[in-house]
Chain A
Amino acid sequence: MDDAVDYVFEALFALSDLRVLLRETAPLHKFNEQQLSQAREALARAKNALEELDEELQK
Chain B
Amino acid sequence: MKIAGNIPIREVEERYINIQPIQAAGRLTAEAMKALIVYGDGYSTCDQCRKPFRLDKITKPPIAEFHNDLARFLGMDEARVTPGARRAFQAVCLALVNKGDTVLVSALGHYTEFLAVENARATVREVPANEANIIMGDAVAQKIEEVTRENGHPPALVMLDHFDYSLANEHDIVGAAKAAHQYDVPLLYNGAYTVGIKPVNGKALGADFVVGSGHKSMASPAPSGVLATTSEYADTVFSTTQMIGDLTGRQFGVKEVQMLGCTLMGGNILAMMASFPTVKRRVKEWDEYVTKSNHVVDTLLGIKGNTCVSEYPRKHTLSKVDTTGSFDTVARTHKRRGFFFSDELKQRGIVGAFAGATRAWKFNTYGLSWDQTRYVADAFQEIAGKYGLL
Contacts and interface: CB of A to CB of B under 8 A. Distances in A.
Partners in one complex: yes
Nearest to B13: A23
A16 B29 CA distance: 9
A42 to B, nearest CB: 9
Interface residues of B, number: 19
B227 interface: no
Contacts of B350: 27
B27 A23 contact: yes
B48 interface: no
Contacts of B38: 9
B37 A12 contact: yes
B16 interface: yes
A23 B349 CA distance: 12
Interface in B337-382: 348-350, 369, 371-372, 375
Given A22-B14, A23-B13, A27-B16, A16 B349 contact: no
B37 A23 contact: no
Interface in B20-42: 27, 29-30, 33-34, 37-38
SS class of chain A's interface: helix, strand, loop or mixed? helix
Nearest to B369: A24
Contacts of A22: 14
Contact of A16 (B13, B15, B16, B30): B30
Contacts of A17: 30
A49 B276 CA distance: 27
Interface string A17-59: 1011011111110000000000000000000000000000000
Interface of B: 13-17, 27, 29-30, 33-34, 37-38, 348-350, 369, 371-372, 375
4 tightest CB-CB pairs across the interface, nearest first? A27-B349, A20-B30, A16-B33, A22-B14
23 contacts: A9-B38, A12-B37, A13-B34, A16-B30, A16-B33, A16-B37, A17-B30, A20-B29, A20-B33, A22-B14, A23-B27, A25-B371, A26-B14, A26-B15, A26-B16, A26-B17, A26-B349, A27-B16, A27-B17, A27-B348, A27-B349, A28-B349, A28-B375
